[in-house]
Chain A
Amino acid sequence: MTATSAPTGLPFDETTPRKGALQTILSSDLPRSKVLSFILLAILLVLAATPFLFSGSQPISTAAKICVFIVLVASYDLLLGYSGIVSFAHTMFFGIGGYGVAIALERLGATWTSVGLGLAAALGSSAVLAVAIGLLSLRVRAIFFSMITLAVASAVAVLASQLSDITGGEDGLSFQLPHALRPAFRLLSEPFLGTVVNGRILAYYLLFFVALGTFLLLLRIVNSPFGRVLQAIRENEFRAEALGYRVVAYRTVASVISALAATVAGALMALWLRYNGPDTTLSFSIMIDILLMVVIGGMGTMYGAVIGATLFVLAQSYLQVLMEAGSTALSGIPVLPNLIHPDRWLLWLGALFIVSVYAFPGGIVGRLRQGRSSQA
């Protein structure tokens, strides 16, 4: 049955029938490529140890951003890669998560209860909105969904910037975190492995473990019978309908799950930044970033989200430095320095994105897996 074949068209790895602990954690969806396993493991270990490996605030902030975007991109992949529908409202749910936590912490005081209330309210709003959009547009044609999500998301972005009494408008909201997450808090009196374990590091690990848990949950969902039905619908909508699956219901549920995970990611982002505003969670350029990450990493692979998010955030933080150097080196030539000007890094990622869609629909992950099993 088509539903059981992997999205890249490769057969599932059936060489290891025994179900070890790793199999259970990864929902039997193993990386299936040595290089990929190695990269994933490296990312996991580096992210887990970042506070102790690097000093200074930029590495840990970059790592935190990677964690958040892994969740955000993985949840988007549930829609795009596994369900075959393109939403432009993913940043809206990301923003709702951020604003939920930010507003609650700003209004109700810096307590864990506020965090909980804010997150719960955000999750509720996201679910309602996702259901409403799904029912309004998934009924007709998938293409309506893309356009309607774009329209609704932009309206919400405008709304957020206009209701400045609640959202802080264009300036956004800054707020205090619960005591245990503040930089001044000390978990241990002595430095551990040469690093002071303060509230900032606790906040990082909160992010890390929530992100890891959410990612594994999403992995479980796409490998569940529900996930297989989604893929069957993606492959052949009419056939799935004929088999008795209620396509609209499945797609709506998928978009709700995806929205909820994005909301969680938004809450994490706000907690990390101690700030939320239109530019950090709501803007359309983040939506474009998500698209780039999911496609370059590999649609319909979940692990692609990890690769894509890591690569993209690193590029965002460090590629520009490289291009700066290249641009200066070429400063004598007319147009070239303009093209590799550090601000033009998106140009090249955009081109890579187009090439990915044409040539490697499985993105980097698909490429790595194909490299391993030589038979096409």
Chain B
Amino acid sequence: MSDLAADPSAVAELPRTKTDWLPLAIVPALALAALPFVGEPSSWVTLTVAGLAMGMMIFLMASGLTLVFGLMDIINFGHGVFISLGAYATLLVLGPLAGWAQAESVWLNLALLMLCILAAMAVTGIVGAVFERVIVRPVYGSHLKQILVTMGGLIVAEQAIHAIWGASPIPIPLPETLRGAFILGDVVMERYRVFAVAVGLAVFVAMQLILNRTRIGLLIRAGVENPEMVEALGYRIRRLFVSVFVAGSALAGLGGVMWGFYRQTLTAGMGMEVMVLVFIVIIIGGLGSVGGCFVGSILVALVANYVGFLAPKLALISNILVMALVLIWRPQGLFPVARR
């Protein structure tokens, strides 16, 4: 059996690890290509930071959805409700701790935001677990029913938000020290956007570490590819499903907090409004791919910002154009997930 290693076919058939760089290169290429059109480098930096911030928020909202799809083959059209719910959950913290928001202290303000995020993730995580149990579990395996039932969940949950917090929009002011902008020379960067980029990057790095370095991450990746074999290796994939669904809902809640403070107004429909972008992003990225979702989010947000600056009326159509171009280039998205 020593001939195993010397097996000629093995050597011939060994491609090196191929990282698919092309989709990754699009983002910087796009940013650079936009520079001459925008003209002023300072406005370009402002636009790019704004685009990155927007992209990170979309990523936060979309990552959970794409992961749930990848692992469970479940498409949750009610995902938007977790975004709204997360944003509304900040009221639980902002109400009693209103003083912290007005304080001129960075630490107090950040602590307040962290509490908001924790509250939002807790609320959306719990509601996510209930949603999975009541709405989603009975319809595993049927996409049609999933779409319908999760839309139904969305209707009911939006109405429940109305019943609890009232139907009129609620203003939420940004904490004191996160208002305004950093000014470096003639470059203006809004503080909250920089904060959003930081949060988004931190979550992305944490997700990558979990997916690549921990056993549960390996299980999720393996489960995306072949859930049955994961079971045959002795792991209970149902528990994995539920925890990923809960984590995905909590991430949407986190995205909702960031999105809510960005808009500074809460409405029950805010989640569904942004879902359009979320869907475009996960289609572009490749359903089920976290990396693709990240690249897709930034791509869509940057394009929207540049186009919004150059030709404001085209801004929302630009997303559709980006999506159509990507699908023509790669019908399964930028990073197609191998399976099914």
Contact = CB atoms under 8 A, between A and B. Distances in A.
The answer to whether A and B interact is yes
Interface string A348-376: 01110110011001000000000000000
Interface residues of A, number: 45
B147 A354 contact: no
Interface string A210-246: 0000000000000000000000000000000000000
Given A347-B156, A347-B160, A144 B319 contact: no
Contacts of A346: 155, 159
Given A344-B159, A347-B159, A354-B135, A155 B152 contact: no
A194 to B, nearest CB: 42
Contacts of B328: 136
Interface in B258-317: 272, 275-276, 279-280, 282-283, 287, 313, 316-317
A292 B159 CA distance: 15
Contacts of A141: 287
B320 A288 contact: no
A142 B332 CA distance: 12
A347 B275 CA distance: 21
Interface of chain A, helix or strand or loop or mixed? Answer: helix
Interface string A319-354: 000000000000000010011010110110111011
A278 B148 CA distance: 24
A152 interface: yes
Contacts of A152: 320
A174 interface: no
Interface in B63-104: 75, 77
A155 B317 contact: yes
Contacts of B331: 139-140
Nearest to B273: A154
A284 B155 CA distance: 12
A25 interface: no
Interface of A: 80, 84-86, 136-137, 139-144, 146-148, 150-152, 154-155, 158-159, 162-163, 284, 288, 291-292, 295, 335, 338-339, 341, 343-344, 346-347, 349-351, 353-354, 357-358, 361
Interface of B: 75, 77, 135, 138-139, 143-145, 147-149, 151-153, 155-156, 159-160, 162-163, 167, 272, 275-276, 279-280, 282-283, 287, 313, 316-317, 319-320, 323-324, 327-328, 331-332
